[in-house]
Amino acid sequence: MKVGVLALQGDVSEHVDILRKVGVDCKIVKKREDLRELKGLIIPGGESTTLIKLMEKTGIYDEILSREDLGIFGTCAGAILLAKEILNYDQNSLGLMEIKVERNAYGRQRESFEAYIKIPKLNIEKFRGVFIRAPIIRDISDKVEVLAEYEGNPVLVQQDIYLASTFHPELTNDERIHRYFVEMLKEKL
């Protein structure tokens, strides 16, 4: 099984390193053909406005939407792009998850911070959550499962073959969430 990392912009190499640690075959995705043989794709953190434009330009946007058998894990900007609605910016997204997000929602003073997160479903007591100009998930439908919360807001959510975190697990040495994503792909696809 191969998992791709979208490499148009953002923190790509960190995801590649952590997937290697999980022991899964990894592919750098720069054009739409790169998606063909993949079961899973990671959309990294970065700038969601830039990412969406490049995805549209390369045809990766259309290719993703034509595939019902491609699991996706979006971190931070990646989570924004998975959302059905971006509440405070007029901006396109993939709309694959029934979540509504507010971009850059923690405000200036807390643009970047770290907090320990508990993820009961994964039996994780403490996961170092690195938040960088992170969004807040303001609304979810009942199709969405909340795996972790911080200050009462969801920060790690799953809907079927899609997983989204508002923090950056790839910026820690902790591969447990990536391992969960890979297990999820094996189980569901």
In angstroms, rounded to a whole number, what is the distance separating the alpha carbons of residues 51 and 75? 12
Q: How many CB atoms lie within 10 A of CB 46?
A: 21
Is 98 among the catalytic positions?
Answer: no
Q: Interface with ligand GLN includes 45 (CB under 6 A)?
A: yes
Give the strand pairing for 71-75 and 40-43.
Answer: parallel
Which distant-in-sequence residues (6+ apart) come within 8 Å of 125 by Cβ?
118
Please pick, among 15, 63, 168, 175, the residue that the annotation labels catalytic: 168
- Are 34 and 64 in contact by the 8 Å Cβ rule? The answer is no
- 102 has which bridge partners? 136
For ligand GLN (CB under 6 A), the number of binding residues is 11
Q: Interface with ligand GLN includes 133 (CB under 6 A)?
A: yes
Instruction: Out of 9, 22, 47, 100, name the contact with ligand GLN by CB under 6 A.
Output: 47
Instruction: Out of 42, 103, 158, 177, name the contact with ligand GLN by CB under 6 A.
Output: 103
Q: Interface with ligand GLN includes 77 (CB under 6 A)?
A: yes
Q: Which positions are annotated as active-site residues?
A: 76, 168, 170
List residues binding ligand GLN (CB under 6 A). Answer: 45-48, 76-77, 80, 103-104, 132-133
